[in-house]
Structure 1
Amino acid sequence: MPSPLIWRAIWAVAIAVIVAVLAFVAVPYFASNRIVRDRIAWEMSAWSGFRVTIDGTPEIEIWPQFRAILTGVTLSNWSDDKAPPVMQADRVEIDLSAMSALRGDVVFSGVRLVKPVFRVEPAAHGLFLPPMPSGGRVARAIDAARELVKAKPDKPDTGKLASEGFGTVEFQDGKVIAAIDGTDTDMLTNLSGQLDWSALNAAGSLTASGVWRGETVAVEAASPGPMLLFAGAAAPVTLSLKAAPANFSFDGTGNLSGQSFFDGQAKFTAPSLRRALQWLEAGIAPGAARGPVSITSKVSGDTGRIKFDKTEIDLDKTPGMGALDLSFVDPMPMISGTLAFDTVDLAAFLSAFTSPTASSGTDLDVIDMSFADRFNLDLRLSAAHATAGRIQLADVAATAQVKNGLAVFDISDATAFGGNIQTSLRIDRRPEGTQVEMKLLASDVNGADFTAAAGMTRLTPTGTGTVSLILKGPGKSWNSILQNADGSVSATFGPGNLTGLNLPAFLKRNEEGGFFALDDVSNGTLPIDGAELKATISKGVARIDRAEAKSAQTKIWLSGIVPYAGRGLALSGGVNQPKPAATPAPQPAPAQPATGTQPIPGAQPAPTQNGQPVSVTPTPAGQTTTSATPPPPAPTPPVNNGNQATFFVGGTWTTPFVSPIIRRNAGE
């Protein structure tokens, strides 16, 4: 027979089982009649600070987790009955404490939101944030934390922070919406994630993913002191955003007060700069921007200003460094700073601002100035080496400025072609249309290298020279600007060669008559002492005022017009070469007496003057007078103006042809 001790144990187990069974049976009763009906909506409102309404009939599940299932849950602002809901969810699952439920209390250990819709509004600094509640436990805890921060801003007493338990909030298949131009617009879709915050004075973390602008974005954020962040105190925080077009990370300190101050290390990477710019809608035309980009920098600032110090940039495997400053104080954001590169592609940089799309019917890009509506810019660039299309530059100092619809891109100093280059591009958007001004000054440059980079292959001087170009015109595309531009061009070159011209072959073909292609006589060079060009440009037509190449024996000149539209040529020219020096005509011999005539004995010799015979005329009183007898005039040597061959140059820039006009000898 069992001992009394065994019997007491059996009775204890039986009583425990009975109590458990009774509790299991009683929990749904208490939950459905006391908790759900009277307490859950109130408890959610007490935590959030919003008015909570539940449309559907609550359900209670006991196994495997004691929880309440709510449908048609809405959170609204207490102060505005007509305002749209702050949050709506088709279904809300709340994990509850069973023992607390038996006592009539509600203790949440977790909340799961199914298909929630969160509403955000634009804040004063431009970011979209959810509406703030007017009360609630979380709001009151933040207010108390603010008082602690005010008392000791540098080191608030964290031991006095609210310690109430919070739990876990999960959300799945949700979205974020905002009213834009009076219409609800999806900001973020397919939103799923989890907020882990065990207690208000404990560490917290957030993981979430959703679709933003057509790309899936994963977000992770964590802080050991979220309550301090909300209260306006500095606290450590980490943040990362990952998406296919771009990734971003931050590790430092910050706060979530009105100014949202932050200070730490940030990194931005993108496998394609073009795709990242398009996805971020940065207001910078992607143009020719290609390749990966990586930016690492120390970042500090607030919603009014962000500073990037010790910035390291790797743009398409081109490293650089510098400092940037972003200001949001004025209505138009301002970007300023300095960047230094070892090598930079200036054409790609410029195209990011001016050539987003191709103009139909033209072979050049439309000038887009929409970026001038989004930000102002004051950027200094320097590079040990740079490229601008086919042009190679060194020791480059450049600026890019954008303000009030005016964009100016200057290269104030650069070495190229053995000399110095200065250039400027000014794009001025006016009510009557866009005006563009271009300037170029190339000093002491190698003519062969300069003309080759400019794409010129015919009649190019190789000496050292200076080139100046000024163009200004209206238009929406580069093509239309060049077709309507006004300006001037001038160039002077010293001793060297004139390439692309076989002068003997040219003169021979010109003498034979009939037109011929300039390419047929381009296999030669001509030594020259110098060359000069001056031309004025009006409405896209260049009128050559002076174009000469000279040597001791030859002068080649051109004049006429060269229109940009149609790329045609209408030039006349000539080649002057001297004749061999003429032989002087022989002087006539002195006059001799006639054959057979003998001098008269006793007669005086015939008088002479300066070696020439003179006549004697008797005069009264035995006086005589003399006068010289002029010799026959000698032939006058012809003026030696040389041979001249004149011609006409027509055709196009790429296929010029030559047609003789006349060939004559000067003086004939």
Structure 2
Amino acid sequence: MRASRNRRWRLAMRSVGRWLPAVARTTGTVVLTIVIVFAVFRATAPFLISSGLVRSGIEDVLSKWTGYKAEIEGAPTLDFWPTPRVTLNQVTIRERTTDGKVLGHVDSLSADFSLWAAIRGRADFHEFHFLRPIIYIRRDEAGLIDWTNEGLLAKAIDRAERSSSTTPGMRPDQDAKIGTLTIEDGILQMADERSGNTYKLDSINADISWPRLSRPMSAVLLARLNGQDIKVDFNSDQPLLFFAGKNVDAKTTFTSPMIRGSFTGTTNISNFSALAGNLDLAIPDVPSFLVWSGEHLPGGDTLKSVSLNANISTVSSGLRFNDLSFKVNDAAATGIMDFGYTAAGKPKISGTLAFDQMNLNPFLAAFSMRLAADTAIDALLNGNPLQRLDMDVRLSAKNAALGPFRFDDIGASLLVAGGTAKFDIGDSSFEGGDLTAHLEVMERDFDGGGKLQISIRDADFGGLISRLKLPGPLPLATGSLDLSLATSKPIWAANLSDVTGTLHFRGKAGSFRQFNISAFRALATQKTFFRMSDVADTAFDFDSISANATVAKGSADVRDLKIVGRNETITLNGLIPYRSNGLALSGTLAATDPANAADLPMLPFFLGGTWPDPVASPVTALLQKPPAQ
């Protein structure tokens, strides 16, 4: 059996040995012939191809695509290795009129071309490379790019715009071939008629892949905007419909050191209210972003970072941000927001945000927004953003902070409409009590001033004073406060001297720290002047405290500040110039029960100087002081 197999194997090998040399010789001859033909073809191609044909072909291609006149100043340069490629210098695109307006200029344009087609007398180009192009475009009032109506691209866009189908058909002769476009060190300048602004991108480097008009397009663009590098990735299966201002599915990613974002879903180049999809946006450094965008926001230093993620859908009034996740600094919120327009055409934001923790400073900073003059954003918004935007936002938080103050279970609202801006805290727990507040920026384009009203009930002011580590002799008690302040000057221009208002405080039993009432009486009989720190070794317990004051011109006019103790009562009246930490108060120390007036006679005194260690002087001592000799 084994001998039979070996015999058959030897016979097969002799058969292969007879025909293998013939096959090898034939294959070698074919390969050699192909190489010789290719080499001869490449060697003779420069003599067979007219450079004028290539040049006129490029001009014709550019003119057909743009609808404008293409002019080439330099002579074309032809290369045939590794692929046939033509390079032309100083290419200008201008309107087809005498002294037509220049719409674009390219320092150098190169493209691959079909060698066989060129030998046959026609130009077929692909893989375009533009070196240092400058392109000028215009965005019209409708939000569409003015492509002109003459070029192949413009005509294709026009057909797509007039089509009622979401997938417009295209005849084979209309489905022009595009290929790959590479842009190096370009400039794009767009005049936006809708906003009246001109936008400029420079240092543009881009790779655009668009095989045919009917095929999907992908583009990657690198550029510089206001001195910062940006990167944009765009992908769409229906680019023609996109350029025609129709709704298309697309994915856009924007990346820069100042802002990052991506949007996946329905996109519309002319109508942002038609967006529907997922939006992810982040501003990691808000102060730097404001500088980059040319905007100045008073109080903006409280904002460190902002990010949001939401599913956007179209509603009758505009856009809705569903499943919104919003983060300001370290405070995260969830909710739902709407963006639309009022009947008068004014932009409006409304919705609800729920925070775990919230810093109120950024929200209150909105009431002092005043953009820097002579900036692009200032020109766009025409001054105060609150003049150009309506808001109706509900806010809630388990914990909230406003500077050193802390709130729990807060419910608030921000309302901007009809020339008035209001911020209300409808309910909040504050230092064991309840707080409500109302801040309003008045009419007359927010230049008419503003007012602040705060009402606090049964709060632990003693705990607040201790936690804030406020110095000096102060009352520690649970009480209620009503504060009403107003200014006739613009909020962003007002200072403490421009504020007027009233204050009412009522406190329960507590203690007046750093005040030894017995030592105060004793020193009042011994010294003409003494410091309050001289009687700060103990506290004065009281049963109640009340105070009324009016605020004006940087001072509080105190009326009937009364601290009622079990045995003695202190009454104070006068001025507190709070801008200079000063005091100028007249007071009395008397028996709480008039029946004890003999044992505790009335002691009038004056309290003045600088907080937290003012000087006290008995009035009787001043009256009895002998005149100077």
Does 1:103 find its partner at 2:120? yes
Alignment map for 1:391-540 (pairs within 5 Å): 391-403=405-417, 406-428=420-442, 430=444, 435-452=449-466, 457-475=471-489, 480-540=494-554
Of 601, 604, 620, which residue of structure 2 is paired with 1:643? Answer: 601
Change (3 A) 1:506 1:100: same
Give the letter for the 1:169 counterpart. Answer: L
**8 Å contact kept, 2:258–2:289:** yes
Give the letter for the 1:250 counterpart. Answer: F
Alignment map for 1:236-385 (pairs within 5 Å): 236-256=249-269, 261-281=274-294, 284-285=297-298, 287-301=300-314, 305-327=318-340, 332-351=346-365, 354=368, 370-385=384-399
Q: Match of 1:288, SS?
A: helix
**8 Å contact kept, 1:49–1:137:** yes
**8 Å contact kept, 1:426–1:438:** yes
Q: 1:124 corresponds to which residue?
A: 141
Does 1:551 find its partner at 2:570? no
1:361-415 CA-to-partner distances (Å, cap 9, x unmatched) read xxxxxxx973335533332211111011111101111122334654322222211
Q: 2:627 corresponds to which residue?
A: none
Deviation at 1:654, TM superposition (A): 3.2
Change (3 A) 1:301 1:114: farther
Q: Match of 1:117, SS?
A: strand
Matches of 1:488 and 1:572 in 2, distance apart? 20
Q: 1:614 corresponds to which residue?
A: none
Give the letter for the 1:418 counterpart. Answer: G
Of 44, 49, 52, which residue of structure 2 is paired with 1:33? Answer: 52
Matches of 2:42 and 2:422 in 1, distance apart? 79
Q: 1:200 corresponds to which residue?
A: 213
Change (3 A) 1:162 1:392: same
**8 Å contact kept, 1:471–1:485:** yes
Does 1:168 find its partner at 2:187? no
Deviation at 1:326, TM superposition (A): 2.5
Range 283-292 or range 155-164, more displaced:
155-164
Matches of 1:265 and 1:652 in 2, distance apart? 59
Matches of 1:430 and 1:312 in 2, distance apart? 35
Range 112-121 or range 345-354, more displaced:
345-354
Aligned residues: 589
Range 317-326 or range 369-378, more displaced:
369-378
Deviation at 1:275, TM superposition (A): 2.5
Alignment map for 1:57-136 (pairs within 5 Å): 57-78=75-96, 84-124=101-141, 130-136=145-151
Q: Match of 2:537, SS?
A: coil
Deviation at 1:456, TM superposition (A): 5.0
Of 542, 545, 548, which residue of structure 1 is paired with 2:556? Answer: 542
Matches of 1:285 and 1:328 in 2, distance apart? 26
Give the letter for the 2:233 counterpart. Answer: E
Matches of 2:505 and 2:25 in 1, distance apart? 118
Q: 2:620 corresponds to which residue?
A: 662
Change (3 A) 1:374 1:580: closer
Deviation at 1:294, TM superposition (A): 2.6
Deviation at 1:113, TM superposition (A): 0.7
**8 Å contact kept, 1:474–1:481:** no
Change (3 A) 1:7 1:645: closer
What runs of 5+ residues in structure 2 fail to find an aligned partner?
1-21, 373-381, 623-629
1:165-195 CA-to-partner distances (Å, cap 9, x unmatched) read 21011101111224599x9966111110110
Change (3 A) 1:277 1:81: farther
Q: Match of 2:49, SS?
A: helix
Matches of 2:223 and 2:25 in 1, distance apart? 61
Deviation at 1:230, TM superposition (A): 3.4
Q: Match of 2:62, SS?
A: helix
Q: Match of 1:41, SS?
A: helix
Deviation at 1:550, TM superposition (A): 1.1
**8 Å contact kept, 1:391–1:453:** no
Does 1:218 find its partner at 2:231? yes
Matches of 2:429 and 2:70 in 1, distance apart? 71
Deviation at 1:467, TM superposition (A): 0.7
**8 Å contact kept, 1:287–1:356:** no
1:111-164 CA-to-partner distances (Å, cap 9, x unmatched) read 111101122334426x6x7531212222333344445x51x44x6568989543
What runs of 5+ residues in structure 1 fail to find an aligned partner?
359-367, 583-638
Task: Report the aligned-residue RMSD.
Answer: 3.8
Does 1:55 find its partner at 2:55? no
Change (3 A) 1:102 1:195: same
Matches of 2:273 and 2:104 in 1, distance apart? 24
Give the letter for the 2:132 counterpart. Answer: K
Give the letter for the 1:34 counterpart. Answer: L
Matches of 1:201 and 1:72 in 2, distance apart? 31
Matches of 1:433 and 1:372 in 2, distance apart? 11
**8 Å contact kept, 1:32–1:60:** yes
Q: Match of 1:86, SS?
A: strand
Of 564, 569, 585, which residue of structure 2 is paired with 1:571? Answer: 585
Range 66-75 or range 278-287, more displaced:
278-287
Change (3 A) 1:478 1:575: farther
TM-score scaled to structure 2, two decimals?
Answer: 0.83
Q: 2:376 corresponds to which residue?
A: none
Deviation at 1:57, TM superposition (A): 2.3
**8 Å contact kept, 1:458–1:501:** no
Q: 1:139 corresponds to which residue?
A: 154
**8 Å contact kept, 2:396–2:411:** yes
Deviation at 1:650, TM superposition (A): 0.6
Matches of 2:172 and 2:545 in 1, distance apart? 87
Change (3 A) 1:89 1:467: same
**8 Å contact kept, 1:252–1:264:** yes
Give the letter for the 2:403 counterpart. Answer: G
Q: Match of 2:330, SS?
A: coil
Q: 2:611 corresponds to which residue?
A: 653
Percent of matched pairs sharing the same residue: 26
TM-score scaled to structure 1, two decimals?
Answer: 0.78
Q: Match of 2:146, SS?
A: coil
**Higher share of residues assigned helix:** 2
Matches of 2:538 and 2:265 in 1, distance apart? 68
Matches of 1:209 and 1:12 in 2, distance apart? 45
**8 Å contact kept, 2:281–2:307:** yes
Q: Which has the larger radius of gyration?
A: 1
Q: Match of 1:105, SS?
A: coil
Q: 1:44 corresponds to which residue?
A: 62
Deviation at 1:655, TM superposition (A): 3.2
Matches of 2:270 and 2:493 in 1, distance apart? 51
1:507-545 CA-to-partner distances (Å, cap 9, x unmatched) read 122221222222332332222221111122233332222
1:47-71 CA-to-partner distances (Å, cap 9, x unmatched) read 2222222222222222233122122
